[in-house]
Amino acid sequence: MYGRNLKAYKRTSLEAELSVASPHRVIQMLFNGLLERLSQAKGAIERKDYAYKADRITKAMGILDGLQGALDRKENPELGDKMYALYDYMKSLLGQASVSLEEGPIDEVVNLLTPIKTAWDNIPEDIKEKTNAEIIARQ
């Protein structure tokens, strides 16, 4: 009962945060959620909880799909294409991890993702505000 209530609370809290989050914050939340799902998938592999592993990897792949969908390839098509391909590669690694039940491919995804997330987190506030305003104006 407690677990179900906690999940409902977290879901409601997340929905509330997403409803007011800036575009930059939404991407940060996707990165955080992705890293959390990857950690959970590794734990599931260690525990031999294959159903949970499959669920966490599926959710991680869904987040990667979301990150791909958020790419703005108009500003810098070459960078956008490279990021799209990198996210595809990460999904491929997660597929390998799911089949092989090895943690190595998940670790590789984390190692690829961490510098991107760090760079995203370190974008200066004035750049975030300007870009968020431009994105909102286009909608």
Taking only the tens place, the pLDDT of each residue in 21-72 is 888 899 999 999 999 999 999 999 999 999 999 999 999 999 999 999 999 8
pLDDT range class, residue 4, cuts 50, 70, 90? low
Looking at residue 31, its amino acid is F
| CA-angle at 11, arms to 57 and 41, nearest 5° | 20
Q: Is the pLDDT of residue 3 over 90?
A: no
- The CATH homologous superfamily to which domain 24-138 belongs is Flagellar protein FliS (1.20.120.340)
Rounded CA separation 13/93 (Å) = 31
Q: Is the dihedral of CA 122, 36, 81, 22 positive or negative?
A: negative
Q: What is the pLDDT of residues 74-126, one digit of tens each?
A: 889 999 999 999 999 999 999 999 999 999 999 999 999 999 999 999 988 88
CA 71 – CA 44 distance, rounded (Å): 30
Q: Where are the beta strands (DSSP E) in 2-128?
A: none
Which has more pLDDT, 9 or 32?
Answer: 32
What is the domain partition of the chain in residue ranges? 24-138
Place 18 in a pLDDT band, splitting at 50, 70 and 90: very low
What is the pLDDT at residue 125? Answer: 87
- What is this structure's pTM? 0.82
Could you give the 3-state DSSP secondary structure of residue 126?
A: helix
Quote the CA–CA distance of 98 and 53 in Å, as a whole number: 7
